[in-house]
Amino acid sequence: MDDERFTRRLEAFSDIVIGFSLAQLGANLTLTSKGNTFFSDPGALLGFLFPFAIICSVWFIHHRLFSYIFVPRTLPVILNFVWLAAVVLLVFAAEAYMRDASSAAAFRAYFACYATVYGLLAVQNVIAMGYAKQRHDELASL
């Protein structure tokens, strides 16, 4: 399989996982007996909007990585799968944290997942830039 085709398929798979993460986030908006207060409760709205914004931002950074500098070598591919797992965990950790913001374990899990997701994206970008420099790619000088 050629590198370009593999990269496009890996990006498509990643988009699907991110899409499912967003769907999971939306599906877990359970309405309590006071369902009508969801839209008037700033905490409930933030509990949805903040994780949604995070997932959208990591999708954007991931898309830029794949659009410009991703190189389908073993380490970047493995890191991408680990990153996808971290994105899925981030959604679950966000839900756990929003359900019980007083839980120290939920707080740690949420922010550890958040840091892991962005950290893995940063590492992927650094590795890709290293490959781009090896190829003397003009994007590596940006």
3-class state of residue 80 by DSSP: helix
Q: Are 51 and 18 in contact (CB under 8 A)?
A: no
3-class state of residue 129 by DSSP: helix
pLDDT tens track for 38-83? 677 777 777 778 888 888 999 999 999 998 889 899 999 999 999 9
Pick the residue with more confidence: 9 or 50?
Answer: 9
Pick the residue with more confidence: 35 or 134?
Answer: 134
> What is residue 122's predicted lDDT score, i.e. its pLDDT?
95
Residue with the two structure tokens 């970047």: 76
The model's pTM = 0.82
pLDDT tens track for 117-129? 999 999 999 999 9
> What is residue 36's predicted lDDT score, i.e. its pLDDT?
65
